[in-house]
Amino acid sequence: MSTALTIPPELREEYPFESHFMETAGGHQMHYVDHGQGRPFLFVHGNPTWSFFFRRLITHFSGRGMRGVACDHIGCGLSDKPQDFEYRLGQHIDNLERLVLQLDLRDICLLVHDWGGAIGLGVAGRHPERFSRLIIGNTAAYRSQRMPWLLKIAKTPGIGQFLIRRFNAFAGLTPNLGAADPARISDQTRQGLLLPYDSWEHRIATYRFVADIPLDEGHPSYSTLVQVEENLSKLRDLPTLLLWGEKDWVFTTHFMTRFQDFFPDAEVRSYPDCGHLLIEEKPGRVIDEIEAFLS
C-alpha cells in the first residue's frame, strides 16, 4: 500500500510531477518521478533528501528533450516507510535496479548524490551497457574510514536512533549544516526537504541509512560496498563530471580526489563557497555546468 503522504498546495509549483509507484521485491511501494520524454536522466538521492531535491533539474532538462526519472528510496520521500525493512545498501541497489529494468532505461545519464552514489553507481556497475554518462556530486561509492564525529554519534546504537527519530536531528539539521550559507535555503525548500520526515515512524530510514554505513568487514553491507567499488572499473571510460561543494563537512574534497583515482579523465567543477547541498545553493550554476557537460 502506498504512502498517504501528499504534496501540499504551496509546494505543488515547486514539485509539479505526477507520482508513479513500483512494487519492490519485498512488496513495498517505491515512489518515483518519470517526467518528460527522450534520453533518460536518472537522479539518485541520498540521506535525508528525496526526489524533491532534484526538482529544478528534472523540470529544466525535461524541457530540453530528456526524460527525468527520480526515485524515492524505501523509507524516503513518498515511498512506503516500513518498520520491519532492513534498509541495507544491497536492498536499495536491488530496488533501483528493478526500476531501471522495469522502465527499460538505456543510454542513461546518471546523477548521484550522497548515499545515492553507492546505490546509483552500484546499479551502473551491474549494467554498464545501459549508462552513457555519470555526474557525481558530494558522495562516495567505495570503502573509507573517514567519518566526522557528528555522524559517529548519529551511528551510535540507542542514542543515534533516539536523536534522529525522536528529535529529527538528522533531517532537521541538514538545511543548515548542509549549506555553506544556510540563508540560501528558502523556507519553502526547507518545508519540502523535511516534508516526509514528520514522525518517529517516518524517520526510520534517516536513521537506518546512517547505521548502514559499513566501516568494517563485519558489517552486513561491507561486502556489497566492496562489490560497488570493484565494479567502478567497468564505468571508467564513461564521460564523467564531478560536481562538488567544497565546504561539505562529510564528503570533503578528499572524496572528490578519491573519485579521480577511479575516473582519471573526469571533468571537475568544485565550488569553494558551497556545501553538501550544492544543488540547492546554486541551482543555476549547476544547471549550466551540466548543460555544458551534456553538450
Which pLDDT value is given to residue 1?
39
Cell numbers for 31, please give them. Answer: 515512489
pLDDT in tens, 34-91: 999 999 999 999 999 999 999 999 999 999 999 999 999 999 999 999 999 999 999 9
In this structure, are strands 66-71 and 39-44 parallel, antiparallel, or unpaired? parallel
209-49-239 Cα angle (round to 5): 95
pTM of the predicted protein model: 0.96
254-273: pLDDT as tens digits: 999 999 999 999 999 999 99
Give a yes or no: residue 28 inside a domain.
yes
Q: Is residue 55 part of a domain?
A: yes
Question: Can you tell me the distance from the alpha carbon of 135 to that of 242, in angstroms, rounded to the nearest whole number?
Answer: 6
Residue 4: its pLDDT value, please? Answer: 61
> Look-up: residue for cell 559499513?
214
- Would you say residue 3 lies in a domain? no
Number of domains in the chain: 1
Cα(285)–Cα(240) distance, integer angstroms: 18
Main-chain phi, psi angles of 260, to 5 degrees: -65, -25
Does residue 179 lie within any of the structural domains?
A: yes
Q: How many CB atoms lie within 10 A of CB 183?
A: 8
Task: Specify if 62 maps to a domain.
Answer: yes
pLDDT tens digit sequence for 153-171: 888 888 999 999 999 999 9
In a domain, 4, yes or no: no
The whole-angstrom separation of Cα 19 and Cα 78 is 9
CATH at residue 90: 3.40.50.1820
- Residue 111 pLDDT > 90, yes or no? yes
List the domain range (segments joined by +) for residue 58: 9-294
Average pLDDT over residues 180-203: 96
Residue 259 belongs to some domain of the structure: yes
Binning pLDDT at 50, 70 and 90, where does residue 2 land? very low
Amino acid in the structure at residue 111: L
1 within domain boundaries: no
